[in-house]
Amino acid sequence: MRKLEFPDPFKHDHPPVRELSDIDPGPSCRGERFADWVYENLGSWRFILVQSILVAVWVVLNATAYVRAWDPYPFIFMNLIFSLQSAYTASLILMSQNRQDRLKAHNDYLMNLRAEEESRAALDNFAAQNKALEEIYREVMALKSKMEKAD
């Protein structure tokens, strides 16, 4: 029987998987830092509470005309401010999210490379095992036919 050959065992010498926050160097310019700040703060309960209080004060002051009513009912100026806030907030959040998505995509790419490398090693090992089983089967069949002839 000829010597069976198998590939060298796969070496898991790649660096360990790291948390994305450990890899992220953070925003690189003022605009990215501001976009991240908006992303982190405008979705908080603190922001909602402060904004709700400001809106309530705005409505009370304008509805009662306690101070000169600068924005009488139906509060068109307040609606304009909310529209502007929504437009800019959405853009800033998207900028922050795009940066984070690029980081995640790069990290996913690195993980996929590692997984493909390990899959290739496993498939090579399976192919070598198939060849070895084929050789063993031929040897067993040859021995079986010799035994049948001897009988």
Read off the pTM: 0.56
Query: Does residue 79 form part of some domain?
Result: yes
Quick: pLDDT tens for 71-105.
888 899 999 999 999 999 999 999 888 888 888 88
Q: Distance (Å, rounded) from C-alpha 105 to C-alpha 115?
A: 15
Give residue 114's identity as a one-letter amino acid code: R
Query: Does residue 33 form part of some domain?
Result: yes
The pLDDT-based confidence of 137 (bands split at 50, 70, 90) is: very high
CA distances from 7 to 57, 79, 131 (A): 75, 70, 12
Query: Does residue 98 form part of some domain?
Result: yes
Query: Does residue 48 form part of some domain?
Result: yes
Query: Does residue 123 form part of some domain?
Result: no
* Tally of structural domains, the chain: 1
Burial of 96 (0-12, 13-18, 19+ CB in 10 A): buried
The pLDDT of residue 48: 93
DSSP character at residue 72: -
Quick: pLDDT tens for 25-67.
777 789 888 888 888 888 889 999 999 999 999 999 898 887 7
Q: Which of 104, 110, 105, 99 shows the shortest CA–CA distance to 26?
A: 99
Quick: pLDDT tens for 8-36.
887 877 777 777 767 777 777 898 888 88
Neighbours of 87 (CB within 10 A): 10
The pLDDT of residue 53: 97
Query: Does residue 6 form part of some domain?
Result: no
Range of 109's domain? 28-115
Query: Does residue 148 form part of some domain?
Result: no
Q: Which of 99, 87, 79, 124 shows the shortest CA–CA distance to 33?
A: 99
Query: Does residue 23 form part of some domain?
Result: no
